[in-house]
Amino acid sequence: MPISGFPEWMPPQRMIEQRLLDRIRTTFELYGFAPLETRSVEPLDTLLSKGETSKEVYLLRRLQADENAKDDDSLGLHFDLTVPFARFVVENAGKLQFPFRRYQIQKVWRGERPQEGRYREFLQADIDVVARGELPFHYDTEMPLVIGDALGGLPIPRVRIQVNNRKVCEGFYRGLGLEDTAQVLRTVDKLDKIGPARVADALIETAGATRAQADACLELAAITAEDGSFADAVRKLGVTDPLLDEGLDELLRVVETAREHAPGLVVAELKIARGLDYYTGTVYETQLEGYERFGSVTSGGRYDSLASTGKETFPGVGISIGVTRILGLLFGHNALNVSRSVPTCVLVAVPAEEQRTTCDRVAAALRKRGIPTEVAPTAAKFGKQIQYADRRGIPYVWFPGEPDTVKDIRSGAQVEADAAAWQPPSGDLHPVIAG
């Protein structure tokens, strides 16, 4: 029986996922990111020190654990790939070339309430750039471009990357006279969930804001623009602070770079805060057109002190694609399909069991040339073998003989063919994914 929050894909869905991953992986490598895989478990103190995640961490325990052994109690499954990556960088700093660019495509586990598009076990595809000591800001402007390229070449709805900068928010809150900026950020981050009126009340209750200060925070959060006009809108609110100016300059660079390279991809959205505590500057969230009500499908940001040895700091910036999240939403709305349920392009028919060796040779010759091929399971009547291919969406049936022939069972066209030379149209070679 199904277990809530732990998805299992059928073969057609899994093929769609694999194509998606191929595109993402290829794009990441085009930008020079190198692959990495880290372990699935981390010490609990590492996992619990990075924000409000303690309720979501899955513990790792052995069924026959020794009562006196403490190690099992101190391990948890990772809930994202950024925290393990930061730990990996610190432990391997002597072996890495900085700035270190890596991508990671792995499962993560998060014990939150499952709902449409939200799972307890899901696949993430991350990129990060980490430096030793100081990370130039231009890497913040590169992140959205990589995601735009990776997802833009897929048959999925258009993505829109919302960007903000925590320095804008924190500087603004400081300029207003609010001291607990982290609490204000966490509260404003709930805007989409609880609405402006309840956010204002919560700011007064938990962050010590006056009604006027709470209203100003909401005015800032309401600002949105596809160009640099957001900076003027912020300045019109009349709040000043050096950190606010620094954040506005950085955010302007991200928005203007994206406008030049990928118009319409990025929008400044000043309500975006991100729930995790380790972000220090630029933050990203991404919406899928038509699926905005389900929230962000990719997210990330700049973190200046997540990876640190005490003596040295390794600042980074990264962004993560919620692969399972995107697919779960699209599968749930039947918005993605694949042209056949198996990779097979050709079924080699078996005239009689004594000829199976000949049929195997034909299949081997076709596979050698990159044509996905299988041999019929039994030497049934040809009509039944064609029916078998049709049920599985296999477009071609090959009949060994003198000479061999191949039949397109969709059109009924049949031609003489040589396994060493015949080639199907490129659109038939592999299953085609359509939105």
Model confidence at 245: pLDDT above 90? yes
Q: What is residue 53's predicted lDDT score, i.e. its pLDDT?
A: 59
**183 a known binding residue?**
no
**408 a known binding residue?**
no
Model confidence at 69: pLDDT above 90? no
Q: What is residue 256's predicted lDDT score, i.e. its pLDDT?
A: 96
Are 300 and 143 contacting, i.e. CB atoms less than 8 angstroms apart?
yes
**128 a known binding residue?**
yes
Q: Give the distance from CA 4 to its chain's centroid.
A: 21
Query: Looking at domain 346-434, which of 3.40.50.800, 1.10.1040.10, 3.90.10.10, 3.30.1300.10 is its CATH number?
Result: 3.40.50.800
**132 a known binding residue?**
no
pLDDT tens digits, one per residue of 306-316: 788 888 999 99
**124 a known binding residue?**
yes
Model confidence at 354: pLDDT above 70? yes
Highest-confidence range of 40-49, 233-242, 276-285, by mean pLDDT? 233-242
**278 a known binding residue?**
yes
- The Cα 38–Cα 86 span in angstroms is 11
Q: What is the mean pLDDT of residues 139-149?
A: 97
Q: Give the distance from CA 267 to its chain's centroid.
A: 19
In the chain, the percentage of residues whose pLDDT exceeds 90 is: 80
- The Cα 8–Cα 202 span in angstroms is 39
Model confidence at 55: pLDDT above 80? no
**325 a known binding residue?**
no
> Which residue's entry shows tokens 């969930």?
193
Q: What is residue 114's predicted lDDT score, i.e. its pLDDT?
A: 85
Q: What is residue 118's predicted lDDT score, i.e. its pLDDT?
A: 85
Q: What is the mean pLDDT of residues 83-92?
A: 93
Query: ∠ at Cα 89 (85, 95), nearest 5°?
Result: 135
Q: What is residue 274's predicted lDDT score, i.e. its pLDDT?
A: 77
Average pLDDT score over the chain: 93
Are 178 and 213 contacting, i.e. CB atoms less than 8 angstroms apart?
yes
Band of pLDDT at residue 406, cut at 50, 70 and 90: very high
Domain-wise residue ranges, the chain: 11-336, 346-434
- The Cα 245–Cα 170 span in angstroms is 11
Q: What is the mean pLDDT of residues 105-112?
A: 93
Model confidence at 52: pLDDT above 80? no
Q: What is residue 201's predicted lDDT score, i.e. its pLDDT?
A: 92
Band of pLDDT at residue 359, cut at 50, 70 and 90: very high
- The Cα 223–Cα 49 span in angstroms is 32
Q: What is residue 67's predicted lDDT score, i.e. its pLDDT?
A: 66
Band of pLDDT at residue 74, cut at 50, 70 and 90: confident
Query: Looking at domain 11-336, which of 3.40.50.720, 3.80.10.10, 3.30.930.10, 3.40.50.300 is its CATH number?
Result: 3.30.930.10
Q: What is residue 405's predicted lDDT score, i.e. its pLDDT?
A: 97
- The Cα 182–Cα 179 span in angstroms is 9
